[in-house]
Structure 1
């Protein structure tokens, strides 16, 4: 592995940690500023931070990260912001998956990997506030590297203006890298976050990409940073607008049913969930995305 790639991996890992710090501060700021409307009489929520560790098959160190979870706040019922950098050797199932996706037959001969990224899922107290998911990551093997990630909005009560704002901010950040990117990534998200056994989308979409490698690491890293930078301005204004709305039993019921849909997707289809569990990462961190309460009809 070249010294340059070592430096690039360190830059990527540091950026994901920086983005995590920005998001945690912004979300605690939302808790502090929620002074009227439902749940405003509760104590402001705070993140509980836990170090996560990954061990290789022989028990040696294989990286880890930080799991930051807030529960029962004024605005967030449960939100997790995880960041990790892990490494080691991929197991046979993960080797096969990587080889199939990237066309890397050498994985069986040299299964070393390195991966770093941030993953976020927020489930809200007020059903008028949309749930949201975001992640960005870099993955390396001796046979290639790539970036992936995106973000998507998951409201149980849909508002066209909120959807337009969320997509508009995503588009503006993508357009700086070419006007063809947003339409392609939006279509990718629509396909990826579709739930076949329910014949419907998980939410109102967003952007998604995977296996992204143009051959220009610096440009690709700049692009994945812009995807991360789009998240807070796309999401926070929606929370500020909707957190004061009143709601009743029917709205809360709709929220719980939608959370059931979200859980189904994450347990059955989500690549990140499967990869995290197959590579031995902390199960609590991997399953952080699951809602605190859900309902099935």
Structure 2
């Protein structure tokens, strides 16, 4: 199975990288075009790109990626767009977790390969919503699957922004079957829920995991369309809200909401747990944390 999936692995990792390049260019374009309103007099932000490395327990190369982070821009206070392709042998904790999820053969053969893109944006203006997006492919000698999605995390909610974000995602999922958007929306509502706060992290989006219908091409096409939906779902909201004036009350609401976001990512997020458990670059894994947050 390893040899049979070399082409699919290459196609998936190449596409995640191309999506990263497109998003980085679009976000730097937002920085350049912000010419009025709060922070417009600041220097336009640019991504700092760092190569990340993963090493196996014996010190051998086990893949890596690119960590691209912009801090203190006109529009983005902190945004990270990371891509990685890692491989090797799962540690015992990750192996047990995969076995509990029903991954076939993982108890006997813990080899794995994983590639994906992960994005989190925390905004300067509290009227602009924070956002998360990721898509990924995971492979073992006896299984493969796709996962990912995107969700909107405003501290100040606007019904028309939420409607646009969801409608854009729904439109991109239409080619993949009736009812799929509703299924992935419901999954996001369940996944991005914070039990100890008894509330959702944001206003939802779409999410899937362990996606394997037996048709790799169809599942890859769906994963690509989840990624393609991101910019048209998110960028118009930023363009609309980045010029709005705000005061101390709005900034306070933003910092408190960021605390909620940090709690979820550190306590519940599956990707954070997997990245740290498998020895990936900790700075890249924790890129999702906001630059400033507050708890009341």
TM-score if structure 1 supplies the norm length? 0.99
Whole-Å Cα distance in 2 between the matches of residues 57 and 2 of structure 1?
A: 22
Match runs of 1:1-297 below 5 Å: 1-104=1-104, 106-297=105-296
Equivalent position SS for 2:87: strand
- Kindly provide the CA deviation profile for residues 45-84 of structure 1, in whole angstroms up to 9, marking residues without a partner as x: 0000000000000000000000000000000000000000
Equivalent position SS for 1:108: coil
Please say if residues 103 and 143 of structure 2, whose CA atoms lie closer than 8 Å, have aligned partners that are also in contact.
no
Q: Once superposed, what is the RMSD of the aligned Cα atoms?
A: 0.7
Please say if residues 263 and 291 of structure 1, whose CA atoms lie closer than 8 Å, have aligned partners that are also in contact.
yes
- 1:102, CA displacement in angstroms? 2.9
Whole-Å Cα distance in 2 between the matches of residues 209 and 113 of structure 1?
A: 20
- Kindly provide the CA deviation profile for residues 253-285 of structure 1, in whole angstroms up to 9, marking residues without a partner as x: 000000000000000000000000000000000
Equivalent position SS for 2:101: helix
Please say if residues 31 and 73 of structure 1, whose CA atoms lie closer than 8 Å, have aligned partners that are also in contact.
yes
Whole-Å Cα distance in 2 between the matches of residues 285 and 101 of structure 1?
A: 25
Whole-Å Cα distance in 1 between the matches of residues 51 and 269 of structure 2?
A: 24
Whole-Å Cα distance in 2 between the matches of residues 19 and 107 of structure 1?
A: 30
Please list every run of 5 or more consecutive structure 1 residues that lacks an aligned counterpart in the other structure: none
Equivalent position SS for 2:4: helix
Aligned pairs, how many? 296
TM-score if structure 2 supplies the norm length? 0.99
- 1:2, CA displacement in angstroms? 4.6
Please say if residues 136 and 228 of structure 1, whose CA atoms lie closer than 8 Å, have aligned partners that are also in contact.
yes
- 1:195, CA displacement in angstroms? 0.2
- Kindly provide the CA deviation profile for residues 195-236 of structure 1, in whole angstroms up to 9, marking residues without a partner as x: 000000000000000000000000100000000000000000
Please list every run of 5 or more consecutive structure 2 residues that lacks an aligned counterpart in the other structure: none
Whole-Å Cα distance in 2 between the matches of residues 156 and 58 of structure 1?
A: 44
- 1:103, CA displacement in angstroms? 3.9
- Kindly provide the CA deviation profile for residues 130-164 of structure 1, in whole angstroms up to 9, marking residues without a partner as x: 00000000000011000000000000000000000
Equivalent position SS for 1:214: coil
Whole-Å Cα distance in 2 between the matches of residues 2 and 42 of structure 1?
A: 50
Please say if residues 153 and 204 of structure 1, whose CA atoms lie closer than 8 Å, have aligned partners that are also in contact.
yes
Please say if residues 102 and 211 of structure 1, whose CA atoms lie closer than 8 Å, have aligned partners that are also in contact.
no
Please say if residues 266 and 272 of structure 2, whose CA atoms lie closer than 8 Å, have aligned partners that are also in contact.
yes
- 1:4, CA displacement in angstroms? 3.4
